[in-house]
A and B are shown apart, each in its own frame.
Chain A
């Protein structure tokens, strides 16, 4: 997903001279295609995230569309107040890009486990969450964000993800994308972010045979009202995310039913269990330990 991101950024930046990429001293062997081609639109702010995020907001206030890139929790938790007060409150066109969502950096330990980021970012009133599930959704998300500049959070996996669409899909905030049509009527897995790969596998496993699979790459506080209508079309929705259950994607979906609590029983949430906090292992191992297993097919 990282490479799809940089490739799409290069394409878009060649058409739009206001696109800027700021990194927090990370991105070695990833960001070079952008940095080499557009050296005056690439800034390494060093290991100083609070300054990085405020200065991104400052540049956005002067007409730039800014992408701020770092890994795991560094562009989010480290500068949360700057995101809240400088970017989100002023509604500035800054996209916070985090590489390594979920447990992609599993063996680097807890500091690098991004399993609470949806919780933080979905609390920002003007923030659009963009969590693509495959490299094609990455491009779709970027194209949407560049056409609709706004405070946003782009949560990328790392590398090596398969593609689950045949072409770059059309996406809208709050709208579910059909990824796989299952033969069992009324049942679907609904996922966001890199957990799409897991959900796609599970649709072939005994527990979820025949389930459809949908992804929702764009969501957030202001897209909740679009959920009820889509939820009503299904008898059973199982949300899947590589994030803690608390304050995650499934929890957001359940909140969207506050005016129709009788529907809550249609939604069950599969997420990472807190027992994983502090464990070390690769992404597959930790996902399994946390309750999101790889299926042996």
Chain B
């Protein structure tokens, strides 16, 4: 699938950006690389030459700290030159370390968790009132589901029948200090989301075929918002980064970068 190559490039650029700028959050970006690749390859109706096209689908990265994955995707799609990625994290760069609406193709600046979904709810409600056919996709982290504002948003979305809203949860099972399970257990997550009135599908968040099929068939239930629980691995794609909390924070040194890029070439040849 063409999205596989896209995902490999997202991982490659993400690793380079984070190494060059000594930034954090690489593992959080790697876990969503496949989701982002599928969204930008098959799902989102967007136009790189017309970033504010009125009937574009709106994509909101609520877990804004994973921005390198989305910046890489936007550059690959031509929203801005790939060479711009080198400026990530530098003084006065528009590519700052949380996703920024000043970047072409980005709808909303996030950095504090729990804002993206309610903001997306507002957009989805506006679409309904304007009788627009575009959809709103919001990508959240699992730790982010601790925020009450998300549950407020889900209640509202169900009550107002916002079936043009699709939330994707990057369920990589790790948060800031330890596992989700040991911090604030989310299980039974699918049941909770269904009880809040959403239609829920669970997928392997690294299986492009599953992701594509699931995301392309929304809404699954008329009148209900759709929630994809994407089971993922934090740090996916680089062996030594997978499932390690420290890689939420650490940035790779040049040897680690070289090792990681080698692995990507082998794995995703």
- B-chain residues with CB within 8 Å of residue A82 when the two chains form the complex: 115, 118, 149
Task: Assess the B121–A48 pair: CB atoms within 8 A.
Answer: no
Residue of A nearest to B123 (CB): A58
Binds A, one of B39-47, B103-111, B222-230: B103-111
- A-chain residues with CB within 8 Å of residue B101 when the two chains form the complex: 90
Q: Does B188 contact A (CB under 8 A)?
A: no
Task: Assess the A61–B149 pair: CB atoms within 8 A.
Answer: no
Residue of B nearest to A47 (CB): B152
| Nearest 6 CB-CB pairings of A with B | A58-B122, A54-B118, A55-B122, A51-B152, A62-B126, A48-B152
Residue of A nearest to B101 (CB): A90
Q: Which of A40, A43, A51, A90 contacts B108 (CB 8 A)?
A: A90
Q: Which residues of chain A in 60-80 are interfacial with respect to chain B, using CB atoms and an 8 Å cutoff?
A: 60-64
Task: Assess the A58–B109 pair: CB atoms within 8 A.
Answer: no
- B-chain residues with CB within 8 Å of residue A85 when the two chains form the complex: 109-112, 115
Chain B nearest Cβ from A89, distance in angstroms: 7
As a 0/1 sequence over residues 89 to 122 of chain A, the CB contacts with chain B under 8 angstroms (1 = contact) are: 1100000000000000000000000000000000
As a 0/1 sequence over residues 22 to 61 of chain A, the CB contacts with chain B under 8 angstroms (1 = contact) are: 0000000000000000001001011010110111111111
Q: Does B156 contact A (CB under 8 A)?
A: yes
Tell me, in angstroms, the Cα distance from A54 to B126 when the chains sit together. 13
Q: A82-B115, A85-B109, A85-B112 are in contact. Are A56 and B122 (CB under 8 A)?
A: yes
Q: Does B129 contact A (CB under 8 A)?
A: yes
Binding site for B on A (CB under 8 A): 40, 43, 45-46, 48, 50-51, 53-64, 81-82, 85-86, 89-90
Task: Assess the A51–B156 pair: CB atoms within 8 A.
Answer: yes
Q: A61-B107, A64-B126 are in contact. Are A55 and B115 (CB under 8 A)?
A: no
Chain A nearest Cβ from B101, distance in angstroms: 6
Q: Which residues of chain B in 85-140 are interfacial with respect to chain A, using CB atoms and an 8 Å cutoff?
A: 101, 107-112, 114-115, 118-127, 129-130
- B-chain residues with CB within 8 Å of residue A50 when the two chains form the complex: 114, 118, 148-149, 152
Task: Assess the B111–A51 pair: CB atoms within 8 A.
Answer: no
Residue of B nearest to A43 (CB): B125
Chain B nearest Cβ from A87, distance in angstroms: 10
- B-chain residues with CB within 8 Å of residue A89 when the two chains form the complex: 109
Q: A81-B112, A85-B109, A90-B101 are in contact. Are A54 and B149 (CB under 8 A)?
A: yes
Q: Which of A46, A61, A63: most chain B CB closer than 10 A?
A: A61
Q: Does B155 contact A (CB under 8 A)?
A: yes
Q: Which of A43, A54, A90 contacts B109 (CB 8 A)?
A: A90
Q: Which of B108, B123, B127, B156 contacts A48 (CB 8 A)?
A: B156
Q: Which of A43, A51, A57, A62 contacts B127 (CB 8 A)?
A: A62
Q: Does B153 contact A (CB under 8 A)?
A: yes
Chain A nearest Cβ from B110, distance in angstroms: 8
Tell me, in angstroms, the Cα distance from A43 to B122 when the chains sit together. 11
What range describes how many residues of B lie at the interface?
20 to 34
Q: Which of A53, A61, A90 contacts B123 (CB 8 A)?
A: A61
Taking A58-B118, A60-B122 as known contacts, 12 extra A-B pairs with beta carbons closer than 8 A to each other, sorted by chain A number, are A50-B148, A50-B152, A51-B153, A55-B118, A56-B122, A58-B122, A59-B122, A59-B126, A82-B118, A85-B115, A89-B109, A90-B101
- B-chain residues with CB within 8 Å of residue A40 when the two chains form the complex: 129
Tell me, in angstroms, the Cα distance from A90 to B159 when the chains sit together. 27
Tell me, in angstroms, the Cα distance from A278 to B122 when the chains sit together. 37
Task: Assess the B114–A59 pair: CB atoms within 8 A.
Answer: no
- A-chain residues with CB within 8 Å of residue B148 when the two chains form the complex: 50
- B-chain residues with CB within 8 Å of residue A43 when the two chains form the complex: 125
Q: Which of A51, A60, A64 contacts B121 (CB 8 A)?
A: A51
Tell me, in angstroms, the Cα distance from A54 to B127 when the chains sit together. 16
Task: Assess the A86–B115 pair: CB atoms within 8 A.
Answer: yes
- A-chain residues with CB within 8 Å of residue B114 when the two chains form the complex: 50
Tell me, in angstroms, the Cα distance from A61 to B107 when the chains sit together. 9
Residue of A nearest to B129 (CB): A40
Tell me, in angstroms, the Cα distance from A63 to B122 when the chains sit together. 11
Provide a sorted-by-A list of 22 A–B residue pairs whose CB atoms are within 8 angstroms. A50-B148, A50-B149, A51-B149, A51-B153, A54-B115, A54-B122, A54-B153, A55-B119, A57-B122, A58-B121, A58-B125, A59-B123, A61-B126, A62-B127, A63-B126, A63-B130, A85-B111, A85-B112, A86-B119, A90-B101, A90-B108, A90-B109
Task: Assess the A62–B123 pair: CB atoms within 8 A.
Answer: yes
Q: A85-B109, A90-B108 are in contact. Are A57 and B119 (CB under 8 A)?
A: yes
